[in-house]
Amino acid sequence: MAVAVQGAPGKSSRGREPRPGLVQRLKLSYSKYWYAYAMIAPVVIVLSVLVGYPLVRGVYLTLTDATSLNTGRQIGVNHIPDSFKFVGLHNYADVLWGPGSYDRFWSHFVWTIAWTAICVLLHYTIGLALALLLNQKLRGRGLYRMLLILPWAVPTFVTVFSWRLMLADGGAINAVLGSVGLPEPGWLSDPFAQKAAAIAVNTWVGVPFMMVSLLGGLQSIPAELYEAAEMDGASPWQRFRYVTLPGLRTVSSTVVLLGVIWTFNQFAVIFLLFGNGAPDAQILVTWAYRLGFGQMPRDYAVSATYGVLLLSLLIVFTSFYRRWLARNEQANG
């Protein structure tokens, strides 16, 4: 029988070797994984130059009153230095709850949220329907896939300019509507019609990505699951609900997250469709561009403030979205 003796020698916190410091751990890590560090170094350098510096510079500008009138510039051989002042968090306060903040920020914020939700919902719903259709055994299925992916393969500016021509007064869409006795909206002039046109064009551009991604997810679901469900007497709706949707959970969570981020920052469609006009149809990212580059004087500080707020919103959304997905996976697991 083993007897524990108090004070017997053994391992304790005092007998452990001290944990190496941060510098020593970095040296050990580098000596062991120097090849990995060498491989990622170019990427880190490029990202630091292309992303890190503009981000730091943008955050700094939000704390100033920088405009095109007081920033440094070169005129011939003469250099005019910066003359803007440090104002702290004044820009954030002015944008969020200053005079006219609803017209300058909150109205565009509400429209951006509605625009993102509607577009992503249409992208996913139509993309899933087309993916289900193309997952069936159809004659000419390869041709259908090629035709449906064309809107994604064609450059965005070509697609948007084509839609702009069709949506113009006297364009193809109003000609078709007029031929059947329907009203002909001013797609590029009426505020409500502008928003509808922007959603339609962005849906056309974004559906193919969802379709291809979800089609890949459908093809990864084992056919045995459908056969077992059919043998158990499951209806088509039940097979879709209890086999297809759970099988697409991982793919769906990823493409929806990417869709939200891309749509929230979808600059090309709005800008190419309306330019600096259509103030009611401008989302936050295009409104920030308009403040920084589409007016005189250019308000760099407020434009950068919009950019930081946009980044903060996306970070918060992504954090909550990933936590929600993790909780659902634990509940379903």
Tens of pLDDT, residue by residue over 83-109, are 889 999 999 999 999 998 999 999 999
Tell me the Cα Rg of the chain: 28
**pLDDT value at position 17?**
63
Max distance between CA atoms of the chain, in angstroms, equals: 100
**pLDDT value at position 7?**
47
Q: Does residue 200 register a pLDDT over 90?
A: yes
The arithmetic mean of pLDDT across residues 75-79, rounded, is: 81
**pLDDT value at position 12?**
46
The dihedrals phi and psi of 280, each to the nearest 5 degrees, come to: -70, -25
Q: Does residue 300 register a pLDDT over 90?
A: yes
Report pTM: 0.82
**pLDDT value at position 1?**
44
**pLDDT value at position 61?**
93
Tens of pLDDT, residue by residue over 5-45, are 444 444 444 556 667 677 777 777 777 888 888 888 888 89
Tracing tokens 């046109």 back to the chain, one arrives at 197
**pLDDT value at position 316?**
92
**pLDDT value at position 5?**
46
The arithmetic mean of pLDDT across residues 139-148, rounded, is: 77
137-151, 157-171, 306-320: which has the minimum mean pLDDT?
137-151
